[in-house]
């Protein structure tokens, strides 16, 4: 970056954030964006990725569009930006149509520097109509690993970002950011985003202050209790468990044993989740026992430990979750509790989530039947469907149905749109002129009601169904849900001026192409992802059992080369402990002796002439490393593991 730009960027940093200087990688990333290069930023969680697009955004004359996967994350970021005086807003599925429209109009009028949006929104008409007017200067794709099936949070809509935004001017700059940088993800990402001569900027995955730890035990409960007692003395932390029940159980348990703690999982009301999160961040609650729903986007510097009671499916997830410890740079402990059967369990979970071809075909047929869709005909627009009916038709559980539907979606055979709340879709079938007439001539209350309704839905509603949350309609129109339904009934039946659809809390489904008699699927693409997941799990398992430096293992996995042992993890510690007194030659001495046959401890002592302390150290090291085995029934004798 030339001096002027660097200076300007630092002024912006100071002015809004109050920070003194950029981190090294941030400087390079910002430079690259300002030079107009397609930029890929790979920093670990907490590495400071946001500033890499936020600072350039403030230096460019126009709008920055930020693609972000999570509603909560978006809201947090926007709130934070507003607090420090930056004009920002977001668009996601929680907003009613008229609100989205308003924000887009504001954006067109240059009222925002940054607009956060979920990738799924890019394909909506509202967006498509407004996009050309938005003066987009920078597109930032946060959590960009969602693009890749190799990433841990694959989101199909992420793959279409480039296409959906293909109309942005040539000079629009692009930046993608993620903490997951395995070579596969990197390659996939650059390809899908069509980055040309990209600059890839990484700050590395080294975290010097983290002391990685793995404890293997058949009694994880006991180990967990002990670990938490010990860790809690250091400060705040997180325990990750897999089920809601476990979270509740353990939070209870730790409370009873004097470590104040609360559970956190998707089963709690959102207010309660906020309270827990807030108390933890601010320090009044030292321990949270959570599912992996906890943590993304949470910014707490002094988390001293992260204990995983259950093993995650991949090192990407593990690194991200465990990496929440020690963001302030002080010594902190990511601890993995592990037993061998964990791996089988996770492996089965992956396998079960991949229905075979016959099941897919059955689910597809049942779904089309439920939608009254004949073979060969097209499915005009998304519909609600009763999944319990579909499941009943073919006698499978809803859980299995769900996995099959997601696989079908991944294969592009259908689209699922999640609806959180009851919605109403309304389309006017009378012309705008007729409607105006109607409003003027109807009895005042009815006319006013219809007028309001039409204004809320906007002019697009004479062309297509506009969907709104029922609660929003009810509030704005100042009626009850029953009154709304009655009114719509009259308008659609008696007056014949509109059509409407009521949608409960469910999914919308759209079959992508004309119904096929026999499903055409590419087996490779259907089941390739399963292999990806299994492969990832394999690396996760290897991490748990390796005797190498844990940090080296992680960094190598994430694509770094030439890493040096950290000296702090459990493996490095064990090694250095033994190094004090035991050399490789010492080990060879024992191995050579045992090659003659099984020996007792006394015999080894006599043969080597070592002190009993040294002997004990050497033998227990060799047992732990599985070089030698203690003979069953006689703790005094040893044999070589492999002869």
CB–CB of 118/74 below 8 Å? Answer: yes
Nearer to Mg ion, 64 or 365 (CB): 64
Nearer to ligand ADP, 43 or 264 (CB): 43
For residues 296 and 72, give the distance between their C-alpha atoms in angstroms, rounded to a whole number: 9
Token pair belonging to 149: 């099936």
Asked if 330 is part of the footprint of ligand ADP (rule: CB under 6 A), the reply reads no
For residues 120 and 226, give the distance between their C-alpha atoms in angstroms, rounded to a whole number: 45
Q: Got the DSSP string for 428-483?
A: E-S-HHHHHHHHHHS-HHHHHHHHHHHHHH-GGGGTS-EEEEHHHHHHHHT--HHH
Q: Of 25, 47, 237, 263, which lies in the binding site for ligand ADP, with binding defined by CB under 6 A?
A: 47
Nearer to ligand ADP, 45 or 571 (CB): 45
CB–CB of 265/247 below 8 Å? Answer: yes
For residues 54 and 22, give the distance between their C-alpha atoms in angstroms, rounded to a whole number: 13
What are the angstrom distances between the C-alpha of 499 and each of 151, 441, 487, 493, 574? 42, 21, 12, 9, 72
Residue nearest to ligand ADP (CB): 48
Stretch that binds ligand ADP, among 48-56, 209-217, 434-442, 530-538 (CB under 6 A): 48-56
For residues 552 and 8, give the distance between their C-alpha atoms in angstroms, rounded to a whole number: 38
CB of residue 317 vs Mg ion: minimum separation in angstroms?
16
Q: Which does 45 bind (CB under 5 to 8 A by kind): ligand ADP, Mg ion, none?
A: ligand ADP
Nearer to ligand ADP, 180 or 384 (CB): 180
Neighbouring CB atoms inside 10 A of 43's CB total 22
CB of residue 5 vs ligand ADP: minimum separation in angstroms?
16
Q: Of 46, 286, 326, 425, which lies in the binding site for ligand ADP, with binding defined by CB under 6 A?
A: 46
Asked if 145 is part of the footprint of ligand ADP (rule: CB under 6 A), the reply reads no
Q: Which does 521 bind (CB under 5 to 8 A by kind): ligand ADP, Mg ion, none?
A: none
Angle between helices 3-12 and 24-34 (to 10 degrees): 120
Q: Which does 353 bind (CB under 5 to 8 A by kind): ligand ADP, Mg ion, none?
A: none
Asked if 51 is part of the footprint of ligand ADP (rule: CB under 6 A), the reply reads yes
Cα 71–Cα 74–Cα 78 angle in degrees, nearest 5: 145
Nearer to Mg ion, 68 or 148 (CB): 68
- Per-residue binding string, ligand ADP, 179-198, x by CB under 6 A, is --------------------
Asked if 48 is part of the footprint of ligand ADP (rule: CB under 6 A), the reply reads yes
For residues 36 and 497, give the distance between their C-alpha atoms in angstroms, rounded to a whole number: 52
Asked if 152 is part of the footprint of ligand ADP (rule: CB under 6 A), the reply reads no
CB of residue 193 vs ligand ADP: minimum separation in angstroms?
18
Q: Which does 379 bind (CB under 5 to 8 A by kind): ligand ADP, Mg ion, none?
A: none
Q: Got the DSSP string for 229-289?
A: HHHHTT-EEEEE-SSHHHHHHHHHHHHHTT--EEEE-TTS-HHHHHHHHHHHHHTS--EEE
Angle between helices 550-557 and 315-322 (to 10 degrees): 120
CB–CB of 509/380 below 8 Å? Answer: no
Contact residues for 515 (Cβ-Cβ < 8 A; gap 6+): 368, 373, 374, 375, 376, 377, 379
Stretch that binds ligand ADP, among 18-26, 184-192, 341-349, 568-576 (CB under 6 A): 18-26
Asked if 93 is part of the footprint of ligand ADP (rule: CB under 6 A), the reply reads no
Q: Of 37, 49, 362, 423, which lies in the binding site for ligand ADP, with binding defined by CB under 6 A?
A: 49
Token pair belonging to 49: 């990725």
Distance, first Cα to last Cα, the chain: 62
CB–CB of 123/164 below 8 Å? Answer: yes
- Per-residue binding string, ligand ADP, 287-326, x by CB under 6 A, is ------------x---------------------------
Contact residues for 274 (Cβ-Cβ < 8 A; gap 6+): none
- Per-residue binding string, Mg ion, 432-461, x by CB under 5 A, is ------------------------------
CB of residue 594 vs Mg ion: minimum separation in angstroms?
53
Nearer to ligand ADP, 299 or 378 (CB): 299
Asked if 43 is part of the footprint of ligand ADP (rule: CB under 6 A), the reply reads yes
CB of residue 528 vs Mg ion: minimum separation in angstroms?
29
Q: Of 19, 345, 357, 502, which lies in the binding site for ligand ADP, with binding defined by CB under 6 A?
A: 19
Number of residues that bind ligand ADP (CB under 6 A): 13
Contact set with Mg ion (CB under 5 A): 49
Contact set with ligand ADP (CB under 6 A): 19, 22-23, 26, 43, 45-51, 299
């Amino acid at each position: 970056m030339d001096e002027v730009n660097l200076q300007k960027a630092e002024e912006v940093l100071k002015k809004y954030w109050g920070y003194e200087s950029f981190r090294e990688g941030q400087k390079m990333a910002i430079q690259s964006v300002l030079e107009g290069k397609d930029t890929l930023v790979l920093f670990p969680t907490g590495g400071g990725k946001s500033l890499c697009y936020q600072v350039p955004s403030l230096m460019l004359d126009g709008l920055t569009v930020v693609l972000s996967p999570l509603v909560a994350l978006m809201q947090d970021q926007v709130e934070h930006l507003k607090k420090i005086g930056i004009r920002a807003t977001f668009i996601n599925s929680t907003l009613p149509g008229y609100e989205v429209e308003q924000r887009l109009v504001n954006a067109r009028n240059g009222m925002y520097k940054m607009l956060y949006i979920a990738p799924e929104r890019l394909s909506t008409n509202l967006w498509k109509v407004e996009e050309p007017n938005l003066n987009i200067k920078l597109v930032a794709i946060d959590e960009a690993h969602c693009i890749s099936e190799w990433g841990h949070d694959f989101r199909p809509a992420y793959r279409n970002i480039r296409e959906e935004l293909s109309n942005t001017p040539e000079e629009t700059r692009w930046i993608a950011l993620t903490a997951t940088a395995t070579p596969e993800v990197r390659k996939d990402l650059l390809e899908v985003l069509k980055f040309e001569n990209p600059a890839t900027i990484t700050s590395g995955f080294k975290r010097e202050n983290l002391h990685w730890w793995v404890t293997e035990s058949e009694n994880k409960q006991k180990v967990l209790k002990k670990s938490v007692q010990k860790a809690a003395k250091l400060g705040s932390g997180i325990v990750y468990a897999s089920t809601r029940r476990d979270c509740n159980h353990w939070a209870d348990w730790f409370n009873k044993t004097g470590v104040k703690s609360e559970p956190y999982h998707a089963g709690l009301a959102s207010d309660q989740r906020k309270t827990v999160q807030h108390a933890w961040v601010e320090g009044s609650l030292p321990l949270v026992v959570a599912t992996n729903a906890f943590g993304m986007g949470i910014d707490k510097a002094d988390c001293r430990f992260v204990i995983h009671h259950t093993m995650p499916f991949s090192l990407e997830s593990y690194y991200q979750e465990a990496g929440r410890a020690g963001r302030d740079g002080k010594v902190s402990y990511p601890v993995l509790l592990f037993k061998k059967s964990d791996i089988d369990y996770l492996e089965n979970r992956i396998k079960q989530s991949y229905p075979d071809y016959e099941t897919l075909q059955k689910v597809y047929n049942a779904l089309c039947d439920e939608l009254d869709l004949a073979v060969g005909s097209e499915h005009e627009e998304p519909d609600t469907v009763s999944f319990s009916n579909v499941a009943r038709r073919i006698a499978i559980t809803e859980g299995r149905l769900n996995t099959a539907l997601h696989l079908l979606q991944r294969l592009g055979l259908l689209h699922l749109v999640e609806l959180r709340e009851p919605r109403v879709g309304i389309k006017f079938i009378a012309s705008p002129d007729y409607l105006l007439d109607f409003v003027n001539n109807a009895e005042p209350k009815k006319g006013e009601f219809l007028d309001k309704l039409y204004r809320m839905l906007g002019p697009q509603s004479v062309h297509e169904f506009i969907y709104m949350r029922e609660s929003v309609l009810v509030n704005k129109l100042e009626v009850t849900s029953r009154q709304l339904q009655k009114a719509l009934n009259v308008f659609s039946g008696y007056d014949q001026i509109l059509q409407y659809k009521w949608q409960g809390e469910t999914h919308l489904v759209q079959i992508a192409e004309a119904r096929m008699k026999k499903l055409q699927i590419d087996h490779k693409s259907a089941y390739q992802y399963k292999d990806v997941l299994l492969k990832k799990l394999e690396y996760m398992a290897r991490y748990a059992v390796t005797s190498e430096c844990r940090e080296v293992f992680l960094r190598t996995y994430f694509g770094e080369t030439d890493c040096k042992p950290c000296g702090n993890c459990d493996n490095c510690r064990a090694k250095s402990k033994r190094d004090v007194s035991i050399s490789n030659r010492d080990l060879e001495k024992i191995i050579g002796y045992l090659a003659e046959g099984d020996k007792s401890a006394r015999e080894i002592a006599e043969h080597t002439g070592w002190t009993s302390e040294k002997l004990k150290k050497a033998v227990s090291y060799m047992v732990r490393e599985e070089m030698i085995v203690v003979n069953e029934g006689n703790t005094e004798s040893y044999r070589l593991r492999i002869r």
